[in-house]
């Protein structure tokens, strides 16, 4: 099995791709073998579609599954007695849910990875304002990706505040009071992209615009809805800066099937793979696409142990822009997400609204 202690000792964005290739292949192969031996449904799937995967020389040769398989099968690589929580995500046009089964070990790995990745930009525990209502966080064994993201951020914060009431009406008094008393202190506004847009930015009145401050906005999910409204990243960021006085704005790309190993956006607007994750782009024939050619995004993670969610073909279209040479200084692959494969069901973490 993978040596997770070794993985968590690594800096998240410092390993060059030439060193990561062999290292990541070795670990991802070990994880694939583990799930092959411990999940019967996964074994049947792999035996049907892939041959001699243990002889794979590159990560693109390893077995992968389409994300929709998590809607059709309950995939577990652990006995039911070890499963502590079920993470679910549903689409806007279907009641079919993807289900991901977590044990305590996988939950811990995902939480630690999230802490390390966002620790790249957050160096301490800060006051946080969730653009959500407190009812989004519950103690049920089955919970949504939105709940998981909020709970995941509790490790970075002190004194959390929710700036939507139970009817999702905006209440900015806690934020205003904080800024009045702590004008120079760092704080975080966190939420899903479409919720921040619809329930915060669009609801702000002119009299509620804030002065320049030391806040961060961290957001993810929901871009597909905003693109339908012709809201670009540039427009989104510009209105946040204009209305909230915040210049440090970071998006992340992730999915319920690989919670924890998110792809963090850099200052130049590109998503970056970390030590925990990797990405490849496949063309229409599912062959490896070259740099700067758009195709289907395939994401990999070393964190899923209780379920075989380590190597997934998504429904998203993206472009790999380069390797090791982003202007931000982070090593590894960096990419953009363009949208969804035409004709696929829209799904998302923020569609509860």
- Given a cut of 60, whether residue 346 has pLDDT beyond it is no
What is the three-state SS of 282-319?
ECCCCCECCCCCCEEEEEEECCCCCCCCCEEEEEEEEE
pLDDT tens for 139-158 read 555 566 777 778 777 777 77
Look at residue 332 in the predicted model and tell me its pLDDT: 96
pLDDT tens for 170-229 read 999 999 999 999 999 999 999 999 899 999 999 886 667 788 999 999 999 877 778 778
pTM: 0.91
pLDDT tens for 74-88 read 999 987 778 888 888
Coil, strand, or helix at residue 130? strand
Q: CA neighbours within 13 Å on the CB side: how many for 325? A: 5
Q: Which fold has domain 4-340?
A: Rossmann fold (3.40.50)
- Given a cut of 50, whether residue 254 has pLDDT beyond it is yes
pLDDT tens for 93-148 read 456 788 999 999 999 999 899 999 999 998 888 999 999 988 877 655 556 677 77
Instruction: State the Cα–Cα distance between residues 118 and 133, nearest whole angstrom.
Output: 23
Share the mean pLDDT of the chain.
88
pLDDT tens for 289-339 read 999 999 999 999 999 999 999 999 999 999 999 999 999 999 999 999 998
Q: How many residues does the chain have?
A: 353
Asked if residues 337 and 297 have their Cβ atoms less than 8 Å apart, the reply is yes
What is the three-state SS of 175-205?
HHHHHHHCCCCCEEEEEEHHHHHHHCHHHCC
> What is the domain partition of the chain in residue ranges?
4-340
Instruction: State the Cα–Cα distance between residues 274 and 261, nearest whole angstrom.
Output: 8
């Amino acid at each position: 099995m993978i040596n997770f202690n070794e993985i968590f000792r690594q800096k998240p964005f410092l390993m060059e791709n030439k060193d990561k290739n062999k290292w990541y292949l070795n670990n991802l192969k070990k994880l694939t073998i583990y799930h092959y031996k411990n999940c019967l449904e996964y074994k049947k799937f792999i035996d049907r579609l892939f041959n001699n995967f243990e002889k794979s020389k590159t990560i693109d040769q390893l077995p992968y599954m389409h994300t929709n398989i998590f809607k059709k099968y309950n995939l577990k690589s652990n006995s039911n007695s070890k499963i502590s929580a079920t993470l679910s995500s549903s689409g806007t046009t279907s009641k079919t849910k993807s289900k991901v089964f977590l044990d305590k070990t996988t939950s811990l790995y995902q939480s630690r990875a999230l802490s390390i990745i966002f620790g790249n930009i957050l160096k301490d525990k800060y006051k946080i304002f969730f653009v959500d209502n407190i009812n989004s966080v519950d103690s049920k064994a089955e919970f949504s990706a939105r709940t998981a993201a909020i709970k995941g951020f509790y490790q970075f914060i002190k004194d959390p505040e929710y700036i939507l009431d139970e009817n999702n009406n905006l209440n900015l008094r806690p934020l205003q009071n904080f800024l009045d008393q702590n004008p120079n202190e760092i704080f975080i506004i966190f939420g899903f992209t479409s919720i921040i847009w619809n329930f915060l930015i669009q609801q702000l009145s002119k009299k509620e615009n804030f002065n320049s401050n030391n806040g961060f906005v961290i957001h993810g999910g929901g871009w597909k809805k905003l693109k339908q409204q012709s809201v670009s990243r540039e427009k989104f960021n510009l209105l946040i800066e204009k209305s909230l006085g915040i210049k440090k704005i970071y998006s992340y790309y992730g999915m319920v099937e690989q919670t924890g190993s998110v792809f963090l956006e850099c200052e130049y607007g590109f998503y970056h793979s970390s030590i925990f994750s990797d990405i490849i782009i496949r063309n229409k024939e599912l062959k490896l696409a070259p740099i700067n050619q758009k195709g289907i995004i395939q994401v990999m993670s070393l964190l899923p142990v209780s379920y075989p969610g380590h190597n997934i073909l998504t429904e998203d279209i993206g472009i790999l822009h380069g390797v090791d040479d982003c202007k931000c200084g982070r090593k590894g692959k960096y990419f953009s997400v363009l949208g969804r494969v035409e004709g696929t069901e829209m799904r998302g973490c923020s569609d509860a609204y």
